[in-house]
Structure 1
Amino acid sequence: MRTEGGRGFGLAGLALALSFLAGSWAAGDVYAASGQSAAGLTLEVSYGYDGNAKSGRYSPMDVSLTNENEESFQGVLKVATMEYDYEVYSYEYPISVDSGNTLEQEIDIPIGGGSDQVFVSVLDGNGNKVTQKRLKIESSRETAELFVGLLSEHPERLAYLDNVGVSYGALRTRAFSISTEDFPQEENGLDMLDVLVVNDYRLRNLTEEQTGAIMDWVEDGGVMILGTGNRVDDTLGRFAPELLDDSYDNPLVMEIRPEGDGEEDELENEVVEVPCVRVSLHGGTVLTADRGYPLLSVAMREQGVVAVTAYDLGDVAEYGQRHTGFVDGLFTDILGEERISGLASALYGGSGEEYWSVQSAINTGNVEKLPNVGLYFLVTAAYIGLAGPGLYIILKKRENRGRYGVCVAAASVVFTVILYCMGMKTRFTGIFVTYATVEDLTKDTVTETSYVNLRNPYSKPYQVELDPAYTVTPVTRNEFYFYDGGRRTFTGEESSHVSVYYGQNETEVTLRDAAAFESQYFRLTRKQENETGAGLTGNIRYYDGRVTGTVTNQFPFDLETVAVLLYGRLVPVGDLAAGDTVKLDDLESYSIPVGNPYAVASFITGLSAYEEADINDKDYMKALERTNLLSFYMQSNLGGYRSDARVVAFGPKDGEKKRAWDERYEDFGLTMLTSALDVDSTSGRMRYRSGMLKRPAVVQGSFDPASNMSYTQEPVTVEYSLGGDLEVSRVEFVPVDGQFSDEKESGGQKVFSGDIYIYDHMTGSFERMEESVLEGEELWRFLSPENGITVRYIGGDTAGYSWALLPMPMVTGREK
């Protein structure tokens, strides 16, 4: 019999043991298994830059594994993370460490948003865990953070950029330095950054691969700010050929107001004396100017932004420390409201927008797999007629009714075989892949982005092999909106729902616990050399509302549904044979809505010409599939102002190169081809561009600045900033063409019809526009000192509730 004291001692010992185990786990447990001594393997892991990383993004990870055992070690490095769907995804790499050696490995891992923990473990050859580290991703739970990477030889001079509220506190900056030694070679290593500031730094210290990674990151949505001043050659010189229209002059010491001469506060006269240089960005605009001298210029680079300051950001450090509003305004102007809103929503786990967009883009399905309902009905009716009165009447006439049962059974077998054979083409017998691919081609490279949906007709684990050149990223929905239990606990002991094994010869994606026909979405990306010179080339000029120039098909096959997309303007080309060149001068162009990609895509593909859906019509289904992919691409890649043109096209199915899954799995999908072309919108020193280059400000009413739409039931007043780098001579309000106002295709959107009023700064009142053009001496009455124009729209069609597509303000002016 145990005494009370003995029982108390046992409980105390058990509590002590549990406390020790819990403490070991929290510190990063070390496990021993399969005869491999944990003490003989030392695992060290660091992530991000200075321990900074962001959930839902790729993060660089440095892994060090030291083998102090007498035998070499071969196994697997496994990184486990929990995604937004609360499933565990693991990324695995084969490793080998000789006795007495240390393995150093750098990898980029997508940090899942379902947990703030990541587990890094080493498995032996039998899959047993040998050692493990737990990593805690530190992030604010109160305010969304703006990650600002500092590439500078003196980052301490940029400390004032840290811990500053942006856009009324929607974001708070977290600035940290990135050393030359740690700077990544690939784009994914920069994915965790929202902004990269290059200042007081010699960019030529980076390799070509590293500077190439910067531009790839920018074009995929990154924001880069370049400080200049006395070191303009070092920070801007390497990018000058692709970013600048003209060469820049030597820096001059000037007295400037860093926030520009448009700021109206008690400190507007405060000046700083710093070296400045005038920079003219290709396709750029001036956001901040002081007495006509450009201080902050920005230019769109596909999905991203390049901003250049006329001064060294370190030279205005004292000013920035005294006036945090300067830093707030700098980031707010460069990022824009839409980008800030998207970053702020990440605090709540994101919206899963990519998941839903991908789902609609690639889930059209293969209609050839649909059964012929009419044929099935006829066969079934024939069986019923034969097995019922048919056989009975026949056997009765032959006085052989005793064989009725046998004949019915035989007929059942025969018709079962017939139905089975009829269903063979509709039956899935193994893994099948639905995909949508976009190939973006330049003179030197081909960037392929494929969204795939993997499915299996059986409820059992399965594996898919891919080209090792692909980077595999899961696309998941945010289960926070569907799961009532809050965040799930992630201990690192859970089995992986999906594992991605990066082998030398192929990448293996394994799915476990998958239900039959359950969808699993991934984004596959790879970049290769353009060895054949394929693509869409040409030259385009867009001035005074006319699009001219040429486009040439450099592919070895004919192209279909070719179109040229500019911001607010479309030129449908149609079919283009291999090697042929088309003159855009002879083609009709259209003014298009900037916020309704589906309406534009359906017009390009011809889907809008169909009055009703018909899944039995192959041409209709082809138009639908192309519309879904094109609208997804436009929404993901062509949102916001851009100065270049994008040529899109579709090739024939037999013209597509083999995909990683073509020969192994049943697949269905399509590929879209794109190329970017520069646009000349100048005539001497005159420039022609959209008045929405900078986000319009809403003064009154319901207005969507990203889509340039207003609510039809109430007047709306909008202030357009036309840019401080132009002496504006003409403003034309170009209406959206009527082809895009059909409610069936445009979601109830209508082309604005009503009156337009312009604010007159001389009289202090609004004046009704009689014509759609303002020019000459009368224009000056409507321009503010900062080159702004205030417009009031009063709709004339008040029937129903809908959004109106407002006209696009197009600006002509002389460069200052």
Structure 2
Amino acid sequence: MKDKIKSTRKLLAILVLGILICGVFIRENPAIICAQEGPFSIDAQLLSQDFSTFNIQIILSNSGENWDGIARVRIENKYYSLNCAYDTKLSLPQGSTKQFLVKIPKESLDDMGASISISLLDKENNLVASKAFANFFLDGADTLSMGILSDSYTSLTYLDMGGKDLYYGGAELPIKLYELSQDNLVSSLESGLVFLVIDDYNTGILTDAQRKSIQDWIEAGGMLIVGTGERAEEVLSGLNFLGITCSKINVPSEHSDQSQYNYEFEKFSMAELEDVNDQYNINGDIVSFITSHEGGAIQVVPYALSKLVLQDVETYVYDLLVRVNSYTKILYDSGDKFLQNEYVIRRIFRTFGNGGNRLNFDVIRVIVVLYVIFVGPILYLILRFLKKRDFYWIAVPITIFVGIFLVYIAGRGFEVVDTRVYSVTVEELGTSDQEAVTYMHCYDAGHKEWMLQLAEGYEYCGPLWSEHYYDKEEDKYHNHIVKEGERISFGLNPDVGFEDAYFKAGNAERKATGTISFDIKLEGSEKKDVIANEDFVVSGIKGTVTNETDQDFAYFAVIMYDLLFIYNDLPAGETRELDKAAYISSKNYDDVVEDYLHDYMNEVYRDKKKKDTDLIAALGIGVSVANSRQDSDETVVIGVTQDWNKVVDDSCSETSYGCLYSVQ
């Protein structure tokens, strides 16, 4: 009995030891995969953003043997990775340090709270080192800083929500409060505050330099929240740039609308605020004036935040902060909202050619018809001649399989022999600070990954919008960008044949020369069924447009005071009188891009102008880009030309268009 107990104990000891050994290995492997740098040193910094891209500077050092391979950048959060791998091929000799830029289009990233991982892969695609950088696009922040400029700081400490997290740009972070004064205001803004709250404070004592610092901070992405109430005039006295004035202070219960709000605002004094420039939206839930301002946002409430006594203060603070956050450029960019709209871009691009979802399989129809009419009878005659008619019912299934195979080959090869690319390059004339931007719609017949090399001069490329990909393994990706030397390649690892892929690329080597000059004025009348403008009734435009480029414009569009006018045929070097437009804005939509997409393009489809469909679709891309970059008081003329410079320097079937525009 004792021997049996001893043997049982030995067996249990062996099992426990085995489990411990397995546990060691299980714990160690992820550390090697996720954080092991070995002889390599990996660092990354987010440089200042430009108009189109996030610029990531990668710094790699090698203290081991000479190494050749790939540095792969992937963007991911806790639950998923984004769908693109950005690879840079390089060599790292022993003892060397190299740094390089990875540029990611802003459209490719919709999660500012995302992390990035940098992995080094050898020539056999084996992982040799990696490092992750949490909250990278938020500068690695682990808290959201909120500065409070107030004579009643202690009454505002509830704004940290009791330490609870706030969802900000894809990350959940707690709020850290800082008490500000006139002395430390500027330095605090420069140190990277996320929120600035001004309440129960006379801003009239601020210097011009301090006021400008607040404006610059907002334009760079900061969020300003202003509480007013009884001291509204003093609070607003130094903040003229807000465009908000106070006409009256209502004592508690005096304001007729207070009882309609979700919170008990009827208990507090409220200022009657005036939106001088008509730039704010009004949120009825928390009674606030809110607007975007360059990269940041402004929110003004008609009551003093320091006087609030609410039953559910945490819910109120959450609503207050989420509202203003939703208006910052990080999440809400009114100027670029249609350019970044997946539906609009897909809708316009799918009008090109046959489109990946409506290919022209005429060859397949021919094969099927020939098979039905000829194959059966001919097969029977052949077998009869050979005196093998008994084999007919065996031969029929074989020929059916052969026919299916031919249909499959025809469908995959006859229509799309090489990867199909439709490209539209948009370039502003007369400027030197903006690159030419190219938008591409691509598809391939095969199921395997395909890659194409861009022409010289392209500095970045990426997916036209962000997609979530739940497999975080290093060799798993959907879109693929590879940079080798000064050349960039892009591609897709498709899930199915003929899968649509959309990319954006930027070229610093501008191709266009000349300009588009114009002298245009609005033409008004008192006629019925005309377009209504804010100041007067507009029936059209008059003036001239001169094409001073070397490109012929099959169509050109004029955007003026949020109105859209489209004309056809403006050859190079010629001047066109704007007498009869092919299309005049319907004003059924709030934006010229929606107008173009839903009204003008539908009109083209109804009239069945098939030969011009591609040109009109290409002009639509140009209209969306130009409209996103212009101010509402500027006039823009955009022309479209076909057979533009090829975007892809590789084996593919490309159809290219160019959109050139001038602004004044």
Query: Secondary structure of 1:270's partner?
Result: helix
- 1:657 aligned to 2:657? no
Mapping 1:67-78, distance limit 5 Å: 67-69=62-64, 71-78=65-72
Aligned pair in 2 of structure 1 residues 568, 510: CA closer, same or farther (>3 Å)?
Answer: closer
For structure 1, the 5+ residue unaligned runs are 32-37, 175-198, 206-227, 239-257, 280-285, 345-349, 393-399, 480-486, 679-816
Mapping 1:193-232, distance limit 5 Å: 230-231=208-209
**Distance in 2 between residues matched to 1:513 and 1:589, nearest whole Å:** 41
User: 2:57–2:102: 8 Å Cα contact kept in structure 1?
Assistant: yes
Instruction: Provide the residue aligned with 1:502 in structure 2.
Output: 483
1:122 Cα deviation from its structure 2 partner: 2.0
Instruction: Provide the residue aligned with 2:612 in structure 1.
Output: 622
CA deviation profile, 1:77-119 (whole Å, cap 9, x unmatched): 2223359996753212233444434334443456685995532
- 1:124 aligned to 2:122? yes
**Distance in 2 between residues matched to 1:570 and 1:351, nearest whole Å:** 15
Aligned pair in 2 of structure 1 residues 337, 171: CA closer, same or farther (>3 Å)?
Answer: farther
1:636 Cα deviation from its structure 2 partner: 6.8
- 1:94 aligned to 2:94? no
Aligned pair in 2 of structure 1 residues 642, 85: CA closer, same or farther (>3 Å)?
Answer: farther
1:156 Cα deviation from its structure 2 partner: 10
- 1:79 aligned to 2:73? yes
Instruction: Provide the residue aligned with 1:471 in structure 2.
Output: 460
User: 1:81–1:115: 8 Å Cα contact kept in structure 2?
Assistant: no
Aligned pair in 2 of structure 1 residues 73, 466: CA closer, same or farther (>3 Å)?
Answer: same
Mapping 1:67-466, distance limit 5 Å: 67-69=62-64, 71-82=65-76, 88-109=83-104, 116-137=114-135, 230-231=208-209, 265-271=229-235, 274=238, 287-289=243-245, 306=294, 342=332, 354-364=341-351, 366-367=353-354, 369-371=360-362, 383=374, 387=378, 427-428=414-415, 430-445=417-432, 447-466=435-454
**Distance in 1 between residues matched to 2:509 and 2:85, nearest whole Å:** 26
Partner amino acid for 1:507? Answer: I
Query: Secondary structure of 2:573's partner?
Result: coil
**Distance in 2 between residues matched to 1:138 and 1:78, nearest whole Å:** 16
User: 1:568–1:593: 8 Å Cα contact kept in structure 2?
Assistant: no
Aligned pair in 2 of structure 1 residues 116, 162: CA closer, same or farther (>3 Å)?
Answer: farther
**Distance in 1 between residues matched to 2:207 and 2:43, nearest whole Å:** 41
**Distance in 2 between residues matched to 1:637 and 1:165, nearest whole Å:** 41
Query: Secondary structure of 1:528's partner?
Result: coil
User: 2:116–2:133: 8 Å Cα contact kept in structure 1?
Assistant: yes
**Distance in 2 between residues matched to 1:511 and 1:566, nearest whole Å:** 39
Mapping 1:538-553, distance limit 5 Å: 538-542=518-522, 544-545=536-537, 547-553=541-547
Mapping 1:709-724, distance limit 5 Å: none
Aligned pair in 2 of structure 1 residues 171, 119: CA closer, same or farther (>3 Å)?
Answer: closer
**Distance in 2 between residues matched to 1:593 and 1:335, nearest whole Å:** 30
Partner amino acid for 1:371? Answer: D
**Distance in 2 between residues matched to 1:382 and 1:13, nearest whole Å:** 73
CA deviation profile, 1:647-668 (whole Å, cap 9, x unmatched): 23322x34x222225x620124
Q: TM-score, normalised by structure 2?
A: 0.59
CA deviation profile, 1:448-492 (whole Å, cap 9, x unmatched): 33332333323333322123614221245756xxxxxxx9463x4
- 1:644 aligned to 2:639? no
1:29 Cα deviation from its structure 2 partner: 2.7
Partner amino acid for 2:88? Answer: Y
Partner amino acid for 1:24? Answer: A
**Distance in 2 between residues matched to 1:60 and 1:478, nearest whole Å:** 20
Aligned pair in 2 of structure 1 residues 290, 527: CA closer, same or farther (>3 Å)?
Answer: farther
Q: Which has the higher contact order (CA 8 A, sep 6+)?
A: 2
**Distance in 1 between residues matched to 2:30 and 2:417, nearest whole Å:** 47
Aligned pair in 2 of structure 1 residues 676, 667: CA closer, same or farther (>3 Å)?
Answer: same
1:21 Cα deviation from its structure 2 partner: 1.0
Mapping 1:35-50, distance limit 5 Å: 38=38, 40-46=39-45
Aligned pair in 2 of structure 1 residues 96, 489: CA closer, same or farther (>3 Å)?
Answer: closer
User: 1:456–1:516: 8 Å Cα contact kept in structure 2?
Assistant: yes
Aligned pair in 2 of structure 1 residues 66, 555: CA closer, same or farther (>3 Å)?
Answer: same
Partner amino acid for 2:422? Answer: Y
**Distance in 1 between residues matched to 2:160 and 2:554, nearest whole Å:** 49
**Distance in 2 between residues matched to 1:634 and 1:165, nearest whole Å:** 44
User: 2:112–2:330: 8 Å Cα contact kept in structure 1?
Assistant: no
User: 2:61–2:97: 8 Å Cα contact kept in structure 1?
Assistant: yes
Aligned pair in 2 of structure 1 residues 464, 14: CA closer, same or farther (>3 Å)?
Answer: same
Aligned pair in 2 of structure 1 residues 47, 68: CA closer, same or farther (>3 Å)?
Answer: same
Partner amino acid for 1:42? Answer: S
Q: TM-score, normalised by structure 1?
A: 0.49
CA deviation profile, 1:472-521 (whole Å, cap 9, x unmatched): 21245756xxxxxxx9463x455344432211142233544654323333
1:427 Cα deviation from its structure 2 partner: 0.5
**Distance in 1 between residues matched to 2:385 and 2:60, nearest whole Å:** 83
**Distance in 1 between residues matched to 2:375 and 2:26, nearest whole Å:** 73
Instruction: Provide the residue aligned with 1:517 in structure 2.
Output: 498
Mapping 1:547-566, distance limit 5 Å: 547-566=541-560
Aligned pair in 2 of structure 1 residues 647, 513: CA closer, same or farther (>3 Å)?
Answer: closer
Instruction: Provide the residue aligned with 2:36 in structure 1.
Output: 30
Query: Secondary structure of 2:603's partner?
Result: helix
User: 1:298–1:305: 8 Å Cα contact kept in structure 2?
Assistant: no
1:46 Cα deviation from its structure 2 partner: 4.9
1:337 Cα deviation from its structure 2 partner: 6.7
Query: Secondary structure of 2:129's partner?
Result: strand
1:441 Cα deviation from its structure 2 partner: 1.5
Instruction: Provide the residue aligned with 2:563 in structure 1.
Output: 569
Aligned pair in 2 of structure 1 residues 320, 119: CA closer, same or farther (>3 Å)?
Answer: farther
**Distance in 2 between residues matched to 1:545 and 1:77, nearest whole Å:** 59
**Distance in 1 between residues matched to 2:378 and 2:276, nearest whole Å:** 84
Instruction: Provide the residue aligned with 1:695 in structure 2.
Output: none
**Distance in 2 between residues matched to 1:134 and 1:550, nearest whole Å:** 57
Partner amino acid for 1:10? Answer: L
Mapping 1:9-28, distance limit 5 Å: 10-11=17-18, 13-14=20-21, 17-18=24-25, 20-21=27-28, 24=31, 28=34
Aligned pair in 2 of structure 1 residues 16, 46: CA closer, same or farther (>3 Å)?
Answer: farther
User: 2:119–2:130: 8 Å Cα contact kept in structure 1?
Assistant: yes
User: 1:259–1:288: 8 Å Cα contact kept in structure 2?
Assistant: no
**Distance in 2 between residues matched to 1:104 and 1:498, nearest whole Å:** 24
Query: Secondary structure of 2:554's partner?
Result: strand
Partner amino acid for 2:121? Answer: L
**Distance in 2 between residues matched to 1:123 and 1:571, nearest whole Å:** 53
**Distance in 2 between residues matched to 1:439 and 1:162, nearest whole Å:** 49
Aligned pair in 2 of structure 1 residues 456, 489: CA closer, same or farther (>3 Å)?
Answer: closer
**Distance in 1 between residues matched to 2:501 and 2:563, nearest whole Å:** 37
**Distance in 1 between residues matched to 2:82 and 2:360, nearest whole Å:** 31
User: 1:299–1:307: 8 Å Cα contact kept in structure 2?
Assistant: no
Aligned pair in 2 of structure 1 residues 157, 171: CA closer, same or farther (>3 Å)?
Answer: same
**Distance in 2 between residues matched to 1:636 and 1:320, nearest whole Å:** 42
CA deviation profile, 1:120-174 (whole Å, cap 9, x unmatched): 122334443222113333899xxxx9x9999xxxx9989x9999799xx998779
Aligned pair in 2 of structure 1 residues 570, 454: CA closer, same or farther (>3 Å)?
Answer: closer
Partner amino acid for 2:663? Answer: L
Instruction: Provide the residue aligned with 2:177 in structure 1.
Output: none
1:564 Cα deviation from its structure 2 partner: 0.9
Identical aligned residues as a percent: 14
For structure 2, the 5+ residue unaligned runs are 1-6, 170-184, 191-205, 217-224, 248-272, 281-291, 523-534
